[in-house]
Amino acid sequence: MTGPVLRVAALSKRFGGTQALKDVDLEVSPGEIHALIGPNGSGKSTLIKILAGYHHAEPGAVAELDGEPFDLGHVTASRHDRLRFVHQELGLVGELSAIDNLALSHGFARTALGNIRWREMERRTSALVERFGLGIDVRRPLATATPVQRTVVAIAAALQGWEGRRGVLVLDEPTAVLPPGEVARLFDIVREVRDAGAGVLYVSHRMDEIFALADRVTVIRGGRRIATRPVTELTPRSLAELMAGEEMETDHRPPPPSGPADPVLEVRDLWAGPLRGVGFDLAKGERLGITGLVGSGHEIVPYAVCGAHTGRVSGRVRLPERSEQWTEARDADGLGLPLVPADRASEGVIGDFSAGENLTLPLLDRLRARSGRLRRRRESDLAEDWIRQVGVHTAGRRPAGARITTLSGGNQQKVVMARCLAQRPPVLALCEPTAGVDITTRLQLYDLIERQAAEGMGVIVSSSDTQDLLALCTRVLVVREGRIAREISGRDITEPALVHAMEGTE
């Protein structure tokens, strides 16, 4: 067959008064990496969930796999034999080994008496993961594996029993928190899947990934398909304009610092996890990047400074403008420095609360009357004011009242950011601040952070995303093996310099 391996036509979906998708068409060819891109809230997640059988499509939608019709929104064994998914959360159990995780979906090999054939399971699992060229101990818990190793296990699980057959592998934001070296290896793996004859539907917010990897790209906005183009016919600017619906500038760089400033935060001899005696000063209005490979310890720094690290920690932290006294790092939570965490879903929001309730959580004491009762009107007004300031958008007229889980990932991130800023802190600590957000929201977050720094707030940006570091930071500390290995400032902050410093290949 020479036609598309996956064809979807006239796909629509409505949730109450919200039209999530409207007459969307999509085709993925065999041996093609087809990117799906669009702003937060554009309908990408809804489309993927319909393909996966989680949501039902509206009547009139048409879908075919290799020319055979199937019902959108109905989970069937025959369909899922050729349509496989690796979701952003991966769906793996960290306490279990790769062997056990793969067996959860396809069962264990057993003897005639029902006993598990462990040697056979190890052989099968090793054969599946070794094809991707990464050294993985399939018997160890996946919690000990690197992010790219876990992603490989998820891809291997999705491809079980698929050898030599046409189908579509759907990858949803697989590189959200991977460092550059591991992203490159994952790209090689995705290309191997494509070269074997499968179609790949690759969902991403990152322009650099689209141009490095994809053959074609489909842009959806406001629930509608805007365009499907070969990547060779596009530029980053033209693709951004298709996504945003307007002319926009994508090359964001921070303004140079205005001059020397007094320190707003001092950190000395910080030990936590792999960190080995890290120390630094953060100046008023400075945007300080902290980066490194996974496991280097860079991702722990903001948690330890804000008193949010759950493991053992030692060292000293001081806010010079508040006190001349040093605070032990284990008591840093008493400083009241807010943190935008790396994992928004599990660490940043309470799913059963509204956007406004999530935003005002740390401010409740300020919002109480003398009787102790919460002044609901004042809470609502405060939440609505901050939601306007950070640009949260929802279908309803009062975004603060919307349940947080009904908001797109980018809008949820804005709520978490607003919760921190509403506390008026001297320092804002950010971990992977733009993971899983589209280019428009990314630029909005950049502008928001830049405004706070311009008003004198010190900003710490811990990120494995070099684009964030280039766009936000005036100085970057590179952590290797628990220690600060290099400091890069001003015009010397380039992607090659960052990658070489992280890898230790300067």
pLDDT digits (tens, 9 = 90+) for 464-503: 878 889 889 999 999 988 999 999 998 899 878 887 888 7
pLDDT at 430: 92
pLDDT at 461: 94
Mark whether 276 and 401 lie in a shared domain. Answer: no
In a domain, 84, yes or no: yes
pTM listed for this prediction: 0.65
Mark whether 380 and 232 lie in a shared domain. Answer: no
248-266: burial string, b at 16+ Cβ within 10 Å, e else = eebebebeebeeeeebbbe
* 244, 264, 289 - which closes a domain: 244
3 state DSSP class of 405: helix
Q: What are the C-alpha distances in Å from 31 to residues 28, 78, 343?
A: 9, 21, 33
Mark whether 209 and 307 lie in a shared domain. Answer: no
In a domain, 314, yes or no: yes
Mark whether 239 and 260 lie in a shared domain. Answer: no
Mark whether 312 and 370 lie in a shared domain. Answer: no
Q: Quick check: 233 and 214 in contact, CB under 8 A?
A: no
Mark whether 256 and 327 lie in a shared domain. Answer: yes
Length of the chain in terms of residues written: 506
Look at the chain and report how many structural domains it folds into: 3
Q: What are the C-alpha distances in Å from 290 to residues 3, 303, 468, 487, 488?
A: 48, 12, 11, 9, 10
In a domain, 278, yes or no: yes
CATH of the domain at 296: 3.40.50.300
Domain encompassing residue 437: 252-337+425-506
Non-local (6+) Cβ contacts of 151 within 8 A are 86, 90, 174, 178, 186
Provide mean pLDDT across the span 75-86: 64
In a domain, 21, yes or no: yes
| Conformational region of residue 326, where left means phi above 0, alpha means psi within -120 to 50, and beta covers everything else | beta
Q: What are the C-alpha distances in Å from 152 to residues 132, 138, 185, 435, 487?
A: 7, 12, 10, 20, 33
In a domain, 359, yes or no: yes
Q: Quick check: 111 and 117 in contact, CB under 8 A?
A: yes
Mark whether 154 and 100 lie in a shared domain. Answer: yes
* 393, 418, 443 - which closes a domain: 418
Mark whether 212 and 119 lie in a shared domain. Answer: yes
CA–CA separation, 231 vs 210, rounded Å? 8
User: Residue 122 — φ and ψ, nearest 5°?
Assistant: -65, -40
pLDDT higher than 60, residue 11: yes
Q: How does residue 292 score in pLDDT terms, banded at 50, 70 and 90?
A: confident
In a domain, 344, yes or no: no
* 378, 400, 418 - which closes a domain: 418
Mark whether 214 and 260 lie in a shared domain. Answer: no
Mark whether 331 and 369 lie in a shared domain. Answer: no
Mark whether 213 and 90 lie in a shared domain. Answer: yes
In a domain, 343, yes or no: no
pLDDT at 75: 55
Mark whether 225 and 152 lie in a shared domain. Answer: yes
In a domain, 444, yes or no: yes
